[in-house]
Amino acid sequence: MQKTTRTNVIKRNGEEVGFDLSKIVNAIQKANKEIDKLHQLNDYQILAIADMIADRVDESSHAVHVEDIQDMVETGIMEMRGYEVAQKYVRYRYKRELSRKSNTTDNGILALIEHINEEVKQENSNKNPVINSTQRDYMAGEVSKDLSKRVLLPEDIVRAHEEGIIHFHDTDYYAQKEHNCDLINLEDMLQNGTVISETLIEKPHSFFTACNVTTQIVAQVASNQYGGQSFTLAHLAPFVDVSRQKIRKNVLEERKECGESIEESIVNRVTERRLRDEIKSGIQTIQYQLITLMTCNGQAPFVTVFMYLDEVEDGQTRDDLALIIEETLRQRMQGVKNEKGVWITPAFPKLIYVLDEDNITEGSKYWYLTELAAKCTAKRMVPDYISAKIMKQLKNGNVYTCMGCRSFLTVEDTQRNADGSHKFYGRFNQGVVTINLVDVACTAEGDMERFWEVLDERLELCHRALRCRHERLLGTVSDVAPILWQYGALARLKKGETIDKLLYNGYSTISLGYAGLYEMCVRMLGKSHTDPEAKPFALAVMQRLNDKCQEWKRAENISYSVYGTPMESTTYKFAKCLQKRFGIIPGVTDKNYITNSYHVHVSEEISAFDKLEFEADFQKLSPGGAISYVEVPNMQNNIPAVLSVMQFIYDHIMYAELNTKSDYCECCGYDGEIKIVEDETGKLGWECPNCGNRDQNQMSVARRTCGYIGTQFWNQGRTQEIKDRVLHL
């Protein structure tokens, strides 16, 4: 009865606890007492079953769910030929399950309030589950999940989701008629005015005011959807000259009043100096307000800021945009102070810098901005980079930002601006369902003919799940989120009007996600998809996903698109489900995570340039969104190398980023990379290499986990994935 294991158990409420052998013994004894003595198990047999289960739990590479342990109990009793005991045990389980189904949310919510729900605690690396606002959102999410699974979604889709065959994203928001990602039409809202909390906000009369209004818009949008959002600095650029003219007028009046020279060159110098101060204050307002804002879902807005010089006309406006971009990069490179007064790396806003002809080579007009971007990346992991050259090739000559970390709108000829250009700002994404490609391969057991059959079956399952997302939004009236649907962020519909027309004809997209392309190839061909013999198969699978999306789009006039899923907690969930369904398969299911989308496996040795060139072929087949990265050491003293990678991105791949390290230990002041270590129970944690501090509350760790930078730590699967990453440079 003293036998212990190093592996923990996950209870139904999400709490992770130590393995308790006595609970298994007690459960078997209860069932044992309910049958006649002739068919009872003896104490030795009961203890043998419990010991056998303890050994299996100890062999597991991850925390074992209580349901899995109960399955082991049933099997163990049957192996001891205790058929009558097993029958009683199964009946007892069934009664308990019925009892729990009568109210499935109580235990999860109570565990959340007591801070012991491990799954929820580490579900999102930018949400702190201890604070009340986050808990309130998670509690509402528990209710939404319960309603979605019991009432709103078809049973087979729920079952496939729970078994890890597919992932129906954001079930905690599905009960409400919300969508995930937005490209805010900031230009419309600033130039034509908007309404926030029933208050009319007119066109700003200065750059600083425009920045202030922008942060209010971002907060309102974030509180009315559940995903990422993006805006462009180009929409703020015209307000720089508004401030310039206003400042110039004041300077002239002041100098006349004081009897000072009003020579044009002097007035211009004073004006530009004051203008720079206002730009600095405006960008500071955006940075600090976006970081400190707490929306109704208990987190800072997941917002991306786009920096593309050619988005405005050449001349004064483009030079003004360059001033804004320069100040944005300088402030981000500095970072923000934490409660101890230490400069650290903030998670938001995410920055995207577009590489183009006028900034990519030394001597080009805006090369100084590219150098500044490189220094910022080396220190703070942002900005990320879009190649205008490659994007124009893939997106019909267009260059535009994603709706958050990687979700791109598709180019639609049906959606045009007044000047005839393709429309992107004001459009959005309806939601995501992800297919587990590793499960397809494991189900097919290496049989190629069977693989394609299973893939088509699973894709149709995803299609029906995506239809659920779409149909949930149908009939939504604009009144549910006026900032989105009535006052310009996404549209200017009338009160009482439904959003239905925005769900068709290419105005919005809906995403078929995918995960585990690498492990799929290993299971089917015994090779990584980087192997020349496996790559054609991987590309063929990607093409099948795209073909299906086009087939559905033609039939339904809904813009389905293939999306490289940025898995966070899902990587751990998929891994655990695969291990449960198929056991441990070397190179396939033997880790606590599976690989994001098409990425090269994190442990595979490959150079930064080879990785980017290889993954570029897969980005082409992820029109709904994808981002590649290279893992690099501290590059602050090697900016030329950063610039070389950026120039390679410009020539070879549409969207990429560099993963650097930016950590801080509050115990000893160490400023470098905090390491991942394994404790005596086998659980992964973080340790300062300088002083040995392992208290996560006494350290600041920032890592790229799914496109965004995470700062609230991660579940065990994602932590193992971070630990396994090899350097590419």
Secondary structure in 3-state letters for 529-595:
CCCCCCHHHHHHHHHHHHHHHHHHHHHHCCEEEEEECCCCCHHHHHHHHHHHHHCCCCCCCCCCCCC
pLDDT at residue 139 tops 80? no
Mean pLDDT over the full length of the chain: 90
Instruction: Let me know the angle formed at the C-alpha of 49 by 46 and 53, rounded to the nearest 5 degrees.
Output: 140
Average pLDDT over residues 209-232: 95
Is residue 405 annotated as part of the catalytic site, yes or no?
yes
Residue of higher predicted confidence among 200 and 197: 200
- State how far the alpha carbon of 597 is from the alpha carbons of 18, 317, 521, 529, 702, in Å: 33, 39, 12, 12, 22
Q: Indicate which residue of 180, 185, 546, 693 is catalytic.
A: 180
- Long-range contact pairs involving 580-587 (C-beta distance under 8 Å, separation at least 24): 580/68, 581/163, 581/164, 581/439, 581/442, 582/442, 584/61, 585/442, 585/523, 587/519, 587/522
Q: Which residues of 9-48 are buried (b: 16+ CB within 10 A; e: fewer)?
A: bbbebbbbeebebeebbebbeebbeebeeeebbeeebbbe
pLDDT at residue 134 tops 70? no
3-state SS assignment for residue 370: helix
In angstroms, the CA 208 to CA 211 distance is: 5
In angstroms, the CA 589 to CA 574 distance is: 9
Pairing type for strands 336-337 and 343-344 reads: antiparallel
In angstroms, the CA 669 to CA 656 distance is: 32
Residue of higher predicted confidence among 179 and 7: 179
pLDDT at residue 162 tops 90? yes
Is residue 563 annotated as part of the catalytic site, yes or no?
yes
pLDDT band at 214 (very low <50, low <70, confident <90, very high): very high
Q: Which residues of 352-370 are buried (b: 16+ CB within 10 A; e: fewer)?
A: bbbbbebbbeeeeebeebb
In angstroms, the CA 74 to CA 723 distance is: 36
Is residue 407 annotated as part of the catalytic site, yes or no?
yes
In angstroms, the CA 342 to CA 337 distance is: 5
3-state SS assignment for residue 454: helix
In angstroms, the CA 288 to CA 101 distance is: 45
Sign of the CA dihedral running 202, 204, 208, 214: positive
pLDDT at residue 126 tops 60? no
pLDDT at residue 707 tops 80? no
Is residue 691 annotated as part of the catalytic site, yes or no?
no
- Beta bridge partners, 73, equal none
3-state SS assignment for residue 351: strand
Q: What is the pLDDT of residue 625?
A: 96
Q: What is the pLDDT of residue 101?
A: 55
- Count of beta carbons in the 10 Å neighbourhood of residue 257: 8
Give the residue carrying structure tokens 């090697």.
638
pLDDT at residue 63 tops 90? no
Is residue 13 annotated as part of the catalytic site, yes or no?
no
Average pLDDT over residues 496-520: 98
Instruction: Let me know the angle formed at the C-alpha of 64 by 58 and 66, rounded to the nearest 5 degrees.
Output: 120
Q: pLDDT tens digits for 389-406?
A: 999 999 999 999 999 889
Is residue 181 annotated as part of the catalytic site, yes or no?
yes
Q: pLDDT tens digits for 569-585?
A: 788 899 989 998 999 99
Secondary structure in 3-state letters for 273-292:
HHHHHHHHHHHHHHHHHHHH
Q: Indicate which residue of 307, 402, 403, 577 is catalytic.
A: 403
pLDDT at residue 365 tops 80? yes
Nearest one of 409, 410, 469, 401 to 434, comparing CA atoms: 469
Determine which of 92-101, 117-126, 139-148, 462-471 has the lowest per-residue pLDDT on average: 117-126
In angstroms, the CA 310 to CA 322 distance is: 10
In angstroms, the CA 347 to CA 712 distance is: 10
Helix (H) or strand (E) run with residue 364 in it: none
Beta strands per DSSP E along 77-223: 166-168, 181-183, 194-196, 199-201
Q: In this structure, are residues 708 and 126 in contact, taking their beta carbons and an 8 Å threshold?
A: yes
Sign of the CA dihedral running 129, 134, 135, 141: negative
Average pLDDT over residues 364-387: 96
- Count of beta carbons in the 10 Å neighbourhood of residue 199: 8
Task: Determine if the peptide bond prior to 383 is cis (ω within 30°).
Answer: yes
Nearest one of 365, 364, 382 to 373, comparing CA atoms: 382
Q: pLDDT tens digits for 51-62?
A: 999 988 888 766
Q: Indicate which residue of 14, 564, 624, 707 is catalytic.
A: 707
Give the CA dihedral 57, 59, 65, 66, nearest 10 degrees.
-10
Q: pLDDT tens digits for 239-273?
A: 999 999 999 999 999 999 999 999 999 999 999 99
What percentage of the chain has pLDDT greater than the value 70? 91
Q: Indicate which residue of 118, 371, 568, 721 is catalytic.
A: 568
Beta strands per DSSP E along 93-171: 166-168
Phi, psi of 580 (to 5 degrees): -70, -40
Instruction: Let me know the angle formed at the C-alpha of 542 by 537 and 548, rounded to the nearest 5 degrees.
Output: 125
Domain segments of the chain: what residues? 8-102
Q: In this structure, are residues 355 and 309 in contact, taking their beta carbons and an 8 Å threshold?
A: no
Residue of higher predicted confidence among 321 and 114: 321
Q: In this structure, are residues 382 and 347 in contact, taking their beta carbons and an 8 Å threshold?
A: no
pLDDT band at 133 (very low <50, low <70, confident <90, very high): low
- Count of beta carbons in the 10 Å neighbourhood of residue 145: 19
Nearest one of 162, 274, 269, 262 to 208, comparing CA atoms: 274
Residue of higher predicted confidence among 597 and 172: 597
Q: Indicate which residue of 400, 487, 563, 629 is catalytic.
A: 563
Task: Determine if the peptide bond prior to 349 is cis (ω within 30°).
Answer: yes
Average pLDDT over residues 427-439: 98
- Beta bridge partners, 306, equal 232, 352
Average pLDDT over residues 295-308: 78
Q: In this structure, are residues 212 and 285 in contact, taking their beta carbons and an 8 Å threshold?
A: yes
Beta strands per DSSP E along 597-725: 628-631, 655-659, 664-665, 675-678, 684-687, 699-700, 703-704, 709-710
Is residue 569 annotated as part of the catalytic site, yes or no?
no
Q: pLDDT tens digits for 71-88?
A: 899 999 988 888 888 888
pLDDT band at 129 (very low <50, low <70, confident <90, very high): low
Average pLDDT over residues 184-212: 97
517 token code pair: 């392309």
Q: What is the pLDDT of residue 572?
A: 87
Q: In this structure, are residues 1 and 677 in contact, taking their beta carbons and an 8 Å threshold?
A: no
Nearest one of 122, 583, 102, 646 to 369, comparing CA atoms: 646
Q: In this structure, are residues 594 and 603 in contact, taking their beta carbons and an 8 Å threshold?
A: no
Q: Indicate which residue of 211, 391, 405, 654 is catalytic.
A: 405
Instruction: Let me know the angle formed at the C-alpha of 77 by 74 and 81, rounded to the nearest 5 degrees.
Output: 130
Q: What is the pLDDT of residue 125?
A: 46
Q: In this structure, are residues 444 and 524 in contact, taking their beta carbons and an 8 Å threshold?
A: yes
Terminal-to-terminal C-alpha distance of the chain: 52
- Count of beta carbons in the 10 Å neighbourhood of residue 425: 23
Is residue 16 annotated as part of the catalytic site, yes or no?
no
In angstroms, the CA 263 to CA 261 distance is: 6
Q: What is the pLDDT of residue 561?
A: 98
Is residue 568 annotated as part of the catalytic site, yes or no?
yes
